[in-house]
Amino acid sequence: MKFNMENIVVDGDPKLRMPSVDIKVPVSDTDLELIQAMVDFVKRSQTDSFDDNDDAFTSAVGMSAPQFGINKRIFVVTEIRDNKQVFHVVVNPKIVKRSDKFIKLSTGENCLSVPNGKSLKLNRSRDIRWNGYLVDPEDGSYEQKKMSPAKGYDSIVFQHEYDHLEGLLYIDREPGVIHGI
Ligand SMILES: [Zn+2]
Position 74 in a domain? yes
State which H helix or E strand residue 38 sits in.
Answer: helix 29-45
Going from the Cα of 114 to the center of ligand 1, the distance in angstroms, rounded, reads 8
- What letter represents residue 74's amino acid? I
Going from the Cα of 128 to the center of ligand 1, the distance in angstroms, rounded, reads 18
pLDDT of 68 above 90 = yes
Give the domain range for residue 103: 5-168
CATH of the domain at 81: 3.90.45.10
Position 138 in a domain? yes
Sequence-ordered list of residues with C-beta below 8 angstroms from that of 71, at least 6 positions apart, any chain: 15, 18, 19, 20, 21, 65
Exactly one of 33, 138, 143, 161 is catalytic; name it: 161
Can you give the pLDDT at residue 53? 52
Across the strands, what pairs with 88? 77
Could you tell me what percent of the chain has a pLDDT over 90? Answer: 76
Q: What is the mean pLDDT of residues 92-103?
A: 96
Residues near ion ligand 1 (CB < 5 Å) are 111
pLDDT in tens, 110-123: 999 999 898 999 99
Can you give the pLDDT at residue 83? 86
Distance between CA atoms of residues 104 and 107, nearest Å: 9
> Of 90-104, 140-154, 163-177, which gets the smallest average pLDDT?
163-177
Can you give the pLDDT at residue 48? 55
- What letter represents residue 119's amino acid? S
Distance between CA atoms of residues 77 and 64, nearest Å: 9
Position 175 in a domain? no
Going from the Cα of 68 to the center of ligand 1, the distance in angstroms, rounded, reads 11
Distance between CA atoms of residues 6 and 113, nearest Å: 11
Domain count for the chain: 1
Strand, coil or helix: 32: helix
Can you give the pLDDT at residue 57? 42
Going from the Cα of 20 to the center of ligand 1, the distance in angstroms, rounded, reads 14
Contact 66, 20 (CB under 8 A): yes
Strand, coil or helix: 59: helix
Can you give the pLDDT at residue 180? 57
Cβ neighbour number for residue 97 with a 10 Å cutoff: 12
Going from the Cα of 100 to the center of ligand 1, the distance in angstroms, rounded, reads 24
Can you give the pLDDT at residue 56? 43
Q: What is the mean pLDDT of residues 31-43?
A: 96
Position 176 in a domain? no
Can you give the pLDDT at residue 79? 86
Active site residue 161: yes
- What letter represents residue 64's amino acid? S
Position 173 in a domain? no
Position 152 in a domain? yes
Among 68, 63, 57, CA closest to 137: 63
pLDDT of 54 above 50 = no
pLDDT in tens, 127-140: 999 999 999 999 99
More confident residue, 27 or 48: 27
Going from the Cα of 168 to the center of ligand 1, the distance in angstroms, rounded, reads 9
- What's the pLDDT band for 17 if we cut at 50, 70, 90? very high
Can you give the pLDDT at residue 126? 95
